[in-house]
């Protein structure tokens, strides 16, 4: 006799999930399901679907080994419902119960579906984070601006990570000043850890190949960790082999090295296979043991206890309409180049090709190449949000939306970013090796050969002058523009208009 159904979603694969802690092995039934609605609310990258399904199947197996009763609906079982709520109702009818216990999902869409379901659903807080949502609201309440840096210091104090008493280790909270070097392609790096697919994963790969043939992205070779044990090995590999230079090359971009010193752990962390604290303690240990410098370790820990926690706090604080914000009134359709269509811009071409092949691009590629171009060209932020949600293996709305709508597109009117993340081609040239093989010239500021980022940068600044001219962090750029000769200004704006016109006509840019 089953008393309650315990829902475990595809990104809730953690032993210490709040709903599991509360559940009873003898009388409760765990429900997990691969359902059409979750697999298609955006056209996810095939690797992401395969990663989620394979990790779900492995987790269900582990739960059974631990003595739980698990009702698992596979995608191609004909009885599996098309939605999470449908699946709960089906299992409820089978076992004559309407009681459901779940950990709160990471997306408003699913929270609302569960709250409105004709079932008796109890939602528990998702406490796999360092900062609870109430704690975040307490921190945010009454502040004029919600800058991540101050929130991050609170998280350092709360966790004790890199703290010496009340003071930050090394005498500074933030060592970014020592980071951000360009990389050269003659450096050998270990690369991320790869895992050979087992039988379960092979079965999932065949399923994804069959059911999602037209989704953007390459499925194979598929070499992800799909269990907690494997994810921990990936963490260990990063800590030992790549962490020490993480800070130095955090912002660098190289054609021949898509991963550089990045950890490739967000996809495991967001599924629940790793916890934020376990990662950060492992990373801190490398510093304590003298194996990694403070700039690398502090920079890394900040991304997780700072940025990641902060993004989640903002997503839930701002509410379901956040993904529809459009403070700059941008309406241009996403051009085909984002889906692998032709472009002459080597940087965009490379970032998108890498995204197609690996479901991965690192932070600076997402922010300063595809994000930067979208913002400069005035692309519709909601379409862009759906693109980012679809194409990356770590994309879940609670973390993707604040990064895209807030940090990258300034569509939330500056809640996250104190100024728009825009740059001309200079920044990309400094941090990457893209420009040397580009059809455009990064040195040209005007003319048909000029890098589109150079033209669109100034055009963006002028178009949004009213909004940004009072921002002290942008004052210098406006005075540079004002000092430019009129004929140069005209050439820049004409060049930008030609590019935007080509985008509108669907022509190659
Ligand atoms: P590393 O460079 O090794 O960083 C370490 C960890 O820090 C990451 O694994 C991640 O968990 C965390 N982290 C770093 N930056 C951020 C950030 N800004 N927000 C939240 N966590 C962060 N991250 C996602 O997890 N899912 C997304 O859908 C996502 N979408 C993004 C969209 C845009 C436009 C931008 C600019 C950033 C986005 N990020 C997203 C943040 C960041 O790009 C990825 O977390 C990172 O690239 C993952 O690769 P990694 O594990 O190798 O990260
Ligand atoms: C991302 C995803 C996919 C592709 N498929 C499933 C699924 O079939 N079943 C499931 O329980 N979860 C899936 N997920 C993860 C959910 O979309 C995720 O739980 C919500 O978006 C909330 O973050
Ligand atoms: Fe990108 Fe401009 Fe460099 Fe070409 S020249 S790679 S478009 S930044």
Nearest-CA residue for atom 2 of ligand 3: 451
What pLDDT, on a 0 to 100 scale, did the predictor assign at position 182? 84
312 and 395, same domain (yes or no) = no
Of the three residues 124, 148, 163, the one that is the final residue of a domain is: 124
24 and 60, same domain (yes or no) = yes
Ligand showing the shortest atom-to-Cα distance for residue 509: 3
Ligand 3 centroid, distance to 377 Cα (angstroms):
14
Ligand showing the shortest atom-to-Cα distance for residue 249: 1
What pLDDT, on a 0 to 100 scale, did the predictor assign at position 140? 97
254 and 399, same domain (yes or no) = no
DSSP secondary structure string, 23-90?
A: --TTTEEEEEE--HHHHHTTT--HHHHHHHHHHHHHHHHHHHHTT-EEEEE-TT-TTS-SSHHHHHHH
* Residue 252 in tokens: 């660098």
| CATH code of the domain in which 292 resides | 1.25.40.80
404 and 492, same domain (yes or no) = yes
144 and 273, same domain (yes or no) = yes
Ligand 1 centroid, distance to 363 Cα (angstroms):
6
How would you write the pLDDT of the chain (509 residues) with one tens digit per residue?
A: 899 999 999 999 999 999 999 999 999 999 999 999 999 999 999 999 999 999 999 999 999 999 999 999 999 999 999 999 999 999 999 999 999 999 999 999 999 999 999 999 999 999 999 999 999 999 999 998 999 999 999 999 999 999 999 999 999 999 988 777 888 776 778 889 999 999 999 999 999 999 999 999 999 999 999 999 999 999 999 999 999 999 889 999 999 999 999 999 999 999 999 999 999 999 999 999 999 999 999 999 999 999 999 999 999 999 999 999 999 999 999 999 999 999 999 999 999 999 999 999 999 999 999 999 999 999 999 999 999 999 999 999 999 999 999 999 999 999 999 999 999 999 999 999 999 999 999 999 999 999 999 999 999 999 999 999 999 999 999 999 999 999 999 999 999 999 999 999 999 99
Nearest-CA residue for atom 9 of ligand 2: 34
Ligand showing the shortest atom-to-Cα distance for residue 43: 2
What pLDDT, on a 0 to 100 scale, did the predictor assign at position 158? 98
What pLDDT, on a 0 to 100 scale, did the predictor assign at position 206? 98
At residue 19's C-alpha, the angle toward residues 35 and 69, to 5°, is 65
| CATH code of the domain in which 95 resides | 3.40.50.620
Q: Which of the listed residues 36, 47, 48, 52 should we mutate to test ligand 2's pocket, taking the one with most ligand atoms within 8 A of CB?
A: 52
Nearest-CA residue for atom 5 of ligand 3: 442
Ligand 3 centroid, distance to 415 Cα (angstroms):
29
15 and 52, same domain (yes or no) = yes
Residue 200: inside a domain: no
Residue 234: inside a domain: no
Domain containing residue 58: 4-124
Taking alpha carbons only, the member of 397, 442, 437, 393 closest to residue 259 is 393
Residue 206: inside a domain: no
Residue 324: inside a domain: no
Residues forming a β-bridge with 124: 103
* Residue 59 in tokens: 């987790």
73 and 113, same domain (yes or no) = yes
Ligand 1 centroid, distance to 399 Cα (angstroms):
8
Ligand showing the shortest atom-to-Cα distance for residue 399: 1
177 and 281, same domain (yes or no) = yes
Give the long-range contacts of residues 402-405, CB within 8 A, separation 24 or more: 402/311, 402/312, 402/314, 402/315, 402/318, 402/322, 403/311, 403/366, 404/371, 405/322, 405/323, 405/325, 405/381
| CATH code of the domain in which 451 resides | 1.10.579.10
Residue 58: inside a domain: yes
Ligand 2 pocket, 389 CB below 6 A?
Answer: no
304 and 370, same domain (yes or no) = no
Ligand 1 centroid, distance to 61 Cα (angstroms):
29
Of the three residues 316, 347, 369, the one that is the final residue of a domain is: 316
Ligand 2 pocket, 107 CB below 6 A?
Answer: yes
DSSP annotation of 379 reads: B
The label of the residue with tokens 């599996």 reads 80
What are the φ and ψ backbone dihedral angles of 471, each rounded to 5 degrees? -80, 115
Residue 205: inside a domain: no
495 and 476, same domain (yes or no) = yes
3-state secondary structure of 164: strand
Ligand showing the shortest atom-to-Cα distance for residue 31: 2
35 and 144, same domain (yes or no) = no
Ligand 2 centroid, distance to 367 Cα (angstroms):
25
Ligand 1 pocket, 204 CB below 6 A?
Answer: no
DSSP annotation of 171 reads: G
Ligand 1 pocket, 400 CB below 6 A?
Answer: yes
Nearest-CA residue for atom 48 of ligand 1: 266
Residue 226: inside a domain: no
Query: CB-side exposure of 153: number of CA atoms within 13 Å?
Result: 12
Please enumerate in sequence order all residues whose Cβ is within 8 A of that of 93, keeping only pairs 6 or more positions apart, or say none: none
Nearest-CA residue for atom 17 of ligand 2: 38
Residue 98: inside a domain: yes
Q: How far apart are CA 15 and CA 232, in angstroms?
A: 14
Nearest-CA residue for atom 3 of ligand 3: 435
Of the three residues 98, 124, 150, the one that is the final residue of a domain is: 124
Ligand 2 pocket, 394 CB below 6 A?
Answer: no
- The count of other CB atoms within 10 Å of the CB of residue 481 is 15
The domain total for the chain is 3
145 and 188, same domain (yes or no) = yes
Q: Which of the listed residues 183, 394, 405, 420 should we mutate to test ligand 1's pocket, taking the one with most ligand atoms within 8 A of CB?
A: 394
What pLDDT, on a 0 to 100 scale, did the predictor assign at position 189? 83
């Amino acid at each position: 006799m089953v008393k309650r159904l315990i829902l475990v979603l595809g990104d809730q694969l953690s032993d210490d999930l709040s709903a599991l802690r509360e559940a009873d092995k003898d009388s409760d039934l765990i429900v997990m399901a691969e359902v059409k609605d979750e697999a298609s609310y955006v056209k996810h990258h095939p690797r992401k679907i395969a990663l989620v399904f394979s990790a779900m199947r492995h987790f269900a197996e582990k739960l059974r080994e631990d003595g739980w009763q698990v009702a698992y609906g596979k995608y191609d079982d004909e009885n599996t419902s098309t939605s999470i709520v449908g699946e709960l109702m089906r299992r409820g009818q089978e076992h004559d119960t309407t009681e459901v216990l779940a950990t709160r999902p990471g997306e408003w869409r699913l929270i609302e579906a569960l709250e409105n379901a004709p079932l008796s659903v109890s939602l528990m807080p998702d406490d796999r984070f360092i900062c609870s949502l109430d704690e975040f609201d307490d921190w945010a309440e009454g502040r004029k601006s919600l800058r991540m840096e101050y929130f991050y210091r609170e998280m350092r104090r709360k966790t004790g990570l890199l703290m010496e008493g009340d003071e930050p280790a090394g005498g500074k909270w933030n060592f970014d000043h020592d980071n951000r070097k360009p990389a050269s392609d003659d450096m050998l790096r270990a690369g991320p850890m790869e895992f050979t697919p087992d039988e379960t994963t092979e079965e999932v790969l065949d399923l994804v190949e069959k059911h999602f043939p037209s989704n953007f992205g390459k499925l194979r070779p598929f070499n992800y960790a799909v269990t907690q044990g494997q994810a921990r090995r990936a963490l260990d590999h990063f800590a030992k082999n790549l962490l020490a230079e993480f800070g130095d090359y955090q912002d660098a971009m190289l054609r021949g090295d898509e991963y550089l010193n990045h950890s490739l752990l967000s996809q495991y962390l967001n599924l629940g296979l790793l916890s934020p604290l376990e990662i950060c303690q492992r990373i801190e240990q490398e510093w304590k043991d003298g194996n990694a410098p403070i700039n690398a370790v502090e920079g890394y820990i900040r991304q997780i206890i700072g940025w990641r926690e902060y993004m989640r706090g903002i997503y839930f604080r701002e509410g379901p309409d956040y993904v529809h914000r459009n403070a700059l009134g941008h309406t241009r359709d996403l051009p085909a180049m984002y889906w692998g269509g032709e472009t002459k811009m080597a940087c965009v071409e490379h970032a998108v090709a890498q995204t197609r092949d690996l479901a991965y691009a690192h932070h600076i590629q997402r922010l300063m190449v595809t994000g930067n171009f979208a913002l400069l060209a005035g692309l519709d932020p909601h379409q862009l949000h759906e693109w980012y949600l679809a194409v990356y293996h770590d994309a879940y709305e609670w973390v993707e939306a604040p990064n895209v709508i807030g940090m990258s597109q300034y569509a939330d009117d500056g809640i996250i970013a104190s100024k728009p993340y825009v740059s001309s081609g200079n920044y990309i040239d400094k941090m990457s090796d893209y420009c040397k093989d580009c059809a455009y010239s990064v040195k040209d500021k005007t003319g048909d050969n000029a890098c589109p980022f150079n033209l669109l940068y100034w055009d963006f600044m002028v178009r949004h002058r009213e909004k940004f001219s009072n921002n002290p962090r942008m004052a210098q750029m406006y005075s540079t523009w004002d000092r430019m000769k009129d004929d140069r200004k005209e050439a820049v704006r004409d060049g930008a208009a030609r590019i935007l016109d080509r985008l509108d006509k669907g022509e190659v840019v």
